Amino acid sequence: MHQVNFANHTSALFMKNPIITQIYSLHVQHHTSQAIFEANLAVYKLSVVRDEKNKTDILKNSKVLKREGFQAINEALFFDRLHVYQQKIVKDMRSTMLSYKGEIYFYLESSKLQILIKDKSLKPYNSVNLITAYITILSIVSLLFILILQRLRPLRKLRRKIAAFGTGEMDVCFALNGLDEIAMIGNELEHTQEKIHALIESRTLFLRNIMHELKTPIAKGRIASTMIKEEKHQRRLETIFLRLEELITEFALIEEVTAGFGHIEKKEYRLIDLIDGAIDMAMVDYDAVWVEIDASYKIKVDYRIFVTAIKNMIDNAMKYSPNKQVKISVKHHEIIFENAGEKLNKPLAYYVEPFTKEKPSKDSFGLGLYLVEAILEAHDMVLGYEYEDGINKFIFVPTQKLLIR
């Protein structure tokens, strides 16, 4: 924009050049005196620079703004033996506009004549006005930007609070002062949070009460079953009460799954220790679980719920494998559970839905793979499935490198 303005200003100044060339052409054609020539220039506030030293200094140190050629026509009389005739002589000339020390000069030159003319009315281009306009516009834009940031600051705070609330921080306050839309949204979020708090407290109280009410008669039943003399009936009742306790524990884990595992504590454990804990939890014979894992492998998980996922995979293999055995191995940072059996009739996605199972079974609650899928998701893993040569392979596939050796 500066260059365009400078070019336009220079072109506007050079508009005076035709006047100068016309005055000069008239002076040449009509052979007017130098005084008349300078008087005609003075009408347009122009003057001839006579001082040779000053003229040399100007021509040497000035800045050329624009240059243009033109032709000067001179009429002359010629005589021969028979008659007198008039002839026009055309001379090529060049006009240059110069800038020197805040003044504008026009330099006319030809093969025989050089004249330097000073223009007293014109001044060189000054960018102060443009700079002032730039500074004014920039100041206005900067002020508007600062004001917008000030207006958006509550929105940024609100976004951070919503993110904190989403990660499980329940004591976030969304209330904002003001009557604008952001304050209204914050206040509505505060009301919604209060309702969520009330629902969570109600659900927690309900679950605690129902768990307590269920565990109390179960405990009494287990004590009473020890008083039965017939060993067969005693073992049956103990099995029933033990299964009821397992169901209550499973219900609690389901509730935690639906709540999104808000309080996971991941620490580094040896994978072999996690598998031992799962075998103890599943209450199966160690000979039925074939473990091919290096004892140095470690993984960062929540011990309690990840052991539950491994336990469910062992249970699943025991229930549906004809030889009641399962093999656990690691390959390419993937934990693989292998058991003999028939291939799944439906895609894996069907079996990870709650309350779905391949065959009805008194030992199956229909939530095993659903819990495994939810636990793996909380640990940045997914559950995969392959079938090869009569072997079912259920695979814990990490979305990133989780195993440490």
For 89-102, how does the pLDDT look when each residue is reduced to its tens digit (9 = 90+)? 445 778 888 888 88
The angle at the Cα of 350, spanning 348 to 356, to the nearest 5 degrees, equals 120
d(CA 301, CA 308): 12
CA distance 324 to 335: 19
Distance CA 324, CA 316 (A): 10
C-beta separation of 329 from 336 below 8 A = yes
Could you tell me the pLDDT band of residue 275, with boundaries at 50, 70 and 90?
A: very high
Tokens of 250: 């499973």
Asked if the model's pLDDT at residue 370 lies above 60, the reply is: yes
pLDDT at position 363 is: 44
Tell me which residue has tokens 């079938």. 387
Q: Pick the closest to residue 374 from 194, 207, 254, 274 (CA basis).
A: 254
Higher-pLDDT residue of 382, 354: 382
Integer Cα distance of 261 and 380 in angstroms: 13
Asked if residue 383 has pLDDT above 60, the reply is yes
Residues ≥6 apart with Cβ < 8 Å to 42: none
Contact yes or no for 303/267 (Cβ under 8 A): yes
Confidence band, pLDDT 50/70/90 cuts, at residue 364: very low
Rounded CA-CA distance 24/377 in Å is 93
Over pLDDT 90: what percentage of the chain? 16
Residue 88 or 166, more confident? 166
- Token digits of residue 223: 């004590």
pLDDT at 350 over 50: yes
pLDDT number for residue 284: 85
**DSSP states of 309-321:** HHHHHHHHHHHH-
The H or E element spanning position 210 is helix 181-225
Are 54 and 87 within 8 A, CB to CB? no
Q: What is the pLDDT of residues 294-330, one digit of tens each?
A: 888 999 998 988 998 999 899 888 888 888 899 999 9
Strand, coil or helix: 364 = coil
Confidence of residue 152 (pLDDT cuts 50, 70, 90): confident
What average pLDDT does the chain have?
81
pLDDT (0 to 100) of residue 257: 65
Q: Are 354 and 366 in contact (CB under 8 A)?
A: yes
The pLDDT value given to residue 91:
58
Q: How confident is the model at residue 222 (pLDDT cuts 50, 70, 90)?
A: confident
Torsion 177-182-185-190 (CA) sign:
negative
Q: Is the dihedral of CA 261, 296, 398, 312 positive or negative?
A: negative
Residue 372 contacts residue 313 (beta carbons within 8 Å): yes
Residues whose CB falls within 8 Å of the CB of residue 3, separated by 6 or more in sequence, listed in order: none
Instruction: Tell me which of 46-50, 157-161, 245-249, 370-374 is least confident.
Output: 245-249
Give the confidence band of 362 by pLDDT, cuts at 50, 70, 90: very low
Q: pLDDT per residue over 23-74, tens digit each?
A: 877 777 677 788 888 888 888 888 888 888 888 898 889 888 888 776 555 5
* pLDDT classification of 230: cutoffs 50, 70, 90: confident
Q: Which two tokens stand for residue 132?
A: 């002032």
Given a cut of 90, whether residue 145 has pLDDT beyond it is yes
* Mean pLDDT value of segment 253-263: 64
Residue 24, burial from CB neighbour count under 10 angstroms (0-12, 13-18, 19+): buried
Q: Do 177 and 187 form a contact (C-beta atoms < 8 A)?
A: no
Give the residue among 49, 145, 185 at the shortest CA–CA distance from 106.
49
Question: How far is the C-alpha of 317 from the C-alpha of 239, rounded, in Å?
Answer: 21
Pick the most confident of 2-11, 136-145, 238-247: 136-145
Residue 404 in this model has a pLDDT that exceeds 70: no
- How far is residue 176's CA from residue 53's CA, in Å, rounded to a whole number? 78
How high is the pLDDT of residue 136? 93
CA–CA gap between residue 235 and residue 227 (Å, rounded)? 11
